Structure 1
Amino acid sequence: MKRVILTSPSGVGLTYADRADMVVPLIFRFVWGPLPTSHHLGEYLTGGYFRGDPEVRWSDLVARSPQSGLAHKELGLVWFCKAYGVEEIELWFDPSPSNQLQLVWILDYLRSEPYAAERTKLRLVDFDLLGADGDRLRDHAIRQLEVTEPDFEDARIAWEAYRSPTPELVSGLLNREFHTLPFLKPAMEELLAELPSPASGLGATEAQLLDLIAKGHNRTKELFEPGGLLETRVFDQWELGPLLEGLASGPMPAIAGLDPKLSTLPRHDARGRNAAYRRSRLSLTEFGQAVLAGREDFRRHNPIRRWWGGTLLTNERLWRWDREGRSLVSP
């Protein structure tokens, strides 16, 4: 039986686990920055290049296949599956918010492709793919589910909700049951928790950062490294840097000690920026201590312009999330 696995970058290790004829890591992350347009996402999967973005396609991280060589480099994803008689398309996405967003996106795409939809299976991966050793990826028993039309519809609803210009539809998903997608609702709640809180103006990860720095953890290496002190499942280490910079800049910064050279380095200078982060020795300002204690609202004194799914957060349109009450607070 010819089998293809679709997974996230976290699941790239499945390439060597002998689970399928081909493993396709889908590169997009949807938790930081503006979302790619539907056109860009479609071109990525159908094999086209698009102007203004890196020339990247679904096949770029796929190894040579013993059966088809490099033929997949010239075809769209579904076209390739048809041409080579793929009988099963397995979806391997772990419970992290980024993985669950990738899952609903790819399900929404596959539902409109009858050949692929009929062959799509879902693996309930209940552990983090990133860092899982080869033995676990190869031998661990993982439940497989059929994907039905209601499941495709659930994915469509969730993906459209996340792409909408306010978080209201995502908040509404918390009242909905997703029987075949059991990790989706917890992931959406984790994403909502990254909206500013009504009291401090901090998202969940921002609050963790301030709390750890207040406890004396002043080096970015111990804060950012995977499996480190910062217990975030939403952002990766490359997304934490801009989040930290937002807390350390503005009219009233909450954090002091961030290397000032960061403000002059271009975003693409990964080596220079990483060195600047490592030189930093972080501490809370007096204002930061008040924010952490809930006595001050960080967003009342500092600007924000950040994307949360399809929602552009600004000081004028600042949606907030009450984590204790599990409720959305409109601007």
Structure 2
Amino acid sequence: MLHIVNGDSFAAKLRKAVPDADILVWRESLYEGPLSVSFTDPKTREARARYFTDLGVPAGQFEHFTSEQEQKLEGFRAYSQIVLWFEYDLYDQAMMIYLLQWFARHNLEKVRLLLICIDSFPGIEPFRGLGSLTPQQILTLMGTWEEVTGEQLELAVRAWNVYAGDNPAELFEFIRGDTAALPFLKRALECHLKRLPSLHNGLSAVLESALIGIRDGIDSPAALFLKISDQWLDYGLGDVQFWRELNDAARCEKPLIVRRGGALPGFGNDNTGASVKEIRLSLTPFGETVLAGKVDQVAVNGICTWFGGLFLSGKGPVWRWNQELGTAVYKK
């Protein structure tokens, strides 16, 4: 039996619970960076390698991890059963639909494909994910997985095509349809659309929430991260991703915030050490103006960001999220 899991933290605990478990850790975040429907084509792989190298991932490490996981995946017929372990948030749901659609395109032959995907666990509130469980708690989940159905595979293929595609309108139409076969997919993809710059002020939902927190007196990055990650549990937001949001907000053409104490750390750095504890955050006058909806962040500072397979750049027009109508629109 092969266990495909969502990160090193959970993998370590699963190994403690089941010492002889054969585990493939899926390390590649599909929440960020360039994507395409084909995904493993040379152009996309090269673009993703450049993206993560620019973020501080050591040169060659990205290629090593991705090559290793793809080779392990290609050898899936060596196993009679494969269990996918995932949770409810966007970070995991993006991985899950990629893997399900990958298996949908391959002849499983006699391999049984199994899935466990949860959004809660008795006695844990809020439930932040599989990595928060103890080995003893993980043991109670063993055998509770269910066989993946044809309906789930077909839904994952359609979900990946719109998530890794470049048209948010098609993604919006997809989530208006029936996604019950993968019960956490709809709300995860709704969160994904809210990552688009808002029609109101050009801020993503997460960045706007962060600026509101700073305005309301949370000047500690660590405290702000805890608040935002709890507020937006369905994102599965990691500290490195959040630090990058704050760093970008501080170093754009007209900064939204001021960091006192230096830049927040990136990949491979100590993200909970003294450097983070010493940093203090505050809004700039421009940040206050944007937050009030009097000026548009994209129109002033521009944008250069991937949202699944959609790349937004320049100062407009771009795809945006209309909170009042709950839909994606293409406007200045």
In 1, the alpha carbon distance for the partners of 2:17 and 2:188 equals 27
In 1, the alpha carbon distance for the partners of 2:311 and 2:273 equals 27
Amino acid corresponding to residue 54 of structure 1 in structure 2: E
CA contact (8 A) 1:100 1:184 kept: yes
- Number of the residue aligned with 1:205: 206
In 1, the alpha carbon distance for the partners of 2:130 and 2:275 equals 30
Task: State whether structure 2 residue 104 is matched by structure 1 residue 102.
Answer: no
Task: State whether structure 2 residue 83 is matched by structure 1 residue 90.
Answer: yes
- Number of the residue aligned with 1:248: 250
Note the 1:221-300 alignment, pairs <5 A: 221-224=222-225, 231-234=232-235, 235-259=237-261, 262=263, 270-271=269-270, 277-300=276-299
- What is the CA-CA distance between 1:240 and the residue it aligns to? 1.1
Relative to structure 1, the CA distance from residue 116 to residue 109 in structure 2 (aligned partners, 3 Å threshold; closer, same or farther) is farther
Relative to structure 1, the CA distance from residue 290 to residue 232 in structure 2 (aligned partners, 3 Å threshold; closer, same or farther) is farther
CA contact (8 A) 1:195 1:320 kept: yes
Relative to structure 1, the CA distance from residue 193 to residue 23 in structure 2 (aligned partners, 3 Å threshold; closer, same or farther) is same
Amino acid corresponding to residue 82 of structure 1 in structure 2: R
In 2, the alpha carbon distance for the partners of 1:137 and 1:28 equals 23
Residue from 64, 67, 77 that aligns with 1:55: 64
In 2, the alpha carbon distance for the partners of 1:251 and 1:207 equals 18
- Number of the residue aligned with 2:320: 320
In 1, the alpha carbon distance for the partners of 2:14 and 2:271 equals 32
In 2, the alpha carbon distance for the partners of 1:106 and 1:137 equals 22
SS of corresponding position for 1:105? helix
Task: State whether structure 2 residue 183 is matched by structure 1 residue 182.
Answer: yes
CA contact (8 A) 2:169 2:329 kept: no
Tell me the alpha carbon deviations over residues 228-265 of structure 1, each in whole angstroms, 9 at most, x when there is no partner.
66645423111112211222222322212354x549x9
- Number of the residue aligned with 1:138: 139
In 1, the alpha carbon distance for the partners of 2:85 and 2:96 equals 8
Q: RMSD of the alignment, in Å?
A: 3.3
Task: State whether structure 2 residue 304 is matched by structure 1 residue 305.
Answer: yes
- Number of the residue aligned with 2:73: 77
Point out the more displaced range, 293-302 or 133-142.
Answer: 133-142
SS of corresponding position for 1:115? coil
CA contact (8 A) 2:239 2:271 kept: no
In 1, the alpha carbon distance for the partners of 2:167 and 2:139 equals 41
Provide structure 1 residue ranges, at least 5 long, that are not aligned to the other structure.
43-49, 61-72
- What is the CA-CA distance between 1:39 and the residue it aligns to? 3.2
| Rg comparison, structure with higher value | 1
SS of corresponding position for 2:132? coil
SS of corresponding position for 1:329? strand
SS of corresponding position for 1:257? strand
- What is the CA-CA distance between 1:172 and the residue it aligns to? 1.5
With the length of structure 1 as denominator, give the TM-score of the two structures: 0.80
- What is the CA-CA distance between 1:52 and the residue it aligns to? 9.2
- What is the CA-CA distance between 1:145 and the residue it aligns to? 2.9
Between the two proteins, the alignment pairs up a number of residues equal to 304
Percent identical pairs in the alignment equals 25
Tell me the alpha carbon deviations over residues 124-161 of structure 1, each in whole angstroms, 9 at most, x when there is no partner.
32232131222221114785333222321111111111
Task: State whether structure 2 residue 5 is matched by structure 1 residue 7.
Answer: yes
Relative to structure 1, the CA distance from residue 132 to residue 232 in structure 2 (aligned partners, 3 Å threshold; closer, same or farther) is same
Relative to structure 1, the CA distance from residue 257 to residue 33 in structure 2 (aligned partners, 3 Å threshold; closer, same or farther) is same
With the length of structure 2 as denominator, give the TM-score of the two structures: 0.79
In 2, the alpha carbon distance for the partners of 1:272 and 1:198 equals 32
In 2, the alpha carbon distance for the partners of 1:14 and 1:220 equals 31
In 1, the alpha carbon distance for the partners of 2:62 and 2:269 equals 18
Point out the more displaced range, 113-122 or 247-256.
Answer: 113-122
Point out the more displaced range, 91-100 or 296-305.
Answer: 296-305
**Greater RCO, 1 or 2 (C-alpha within 8 Å, sep 6+):** 2
Relative to structure 1, the CA distance from residue 268 to residue 257 in structure 2 (aligned partners, 3 Å threshold; closer, same or farther) is closer
CA contact (8 A) 1:78 1:116 kept: no
SS of corresponding position for 1:238? helix
Provide structure 2 residue ranges, at least 5 long, that are not aligned to the other structure.
46-58, 121-128
SS of corresponding position for 2:160? helix
- Number of the residue aligned with 1:114: 107
Tell me the alpha carbon deviations over residues 30-82 of structure 1, each in whole angstroms, 9 at most, x when there is no partner.
1122237323699xxxxxxx98943225757xxxxxxxxxxxx9x64342x43
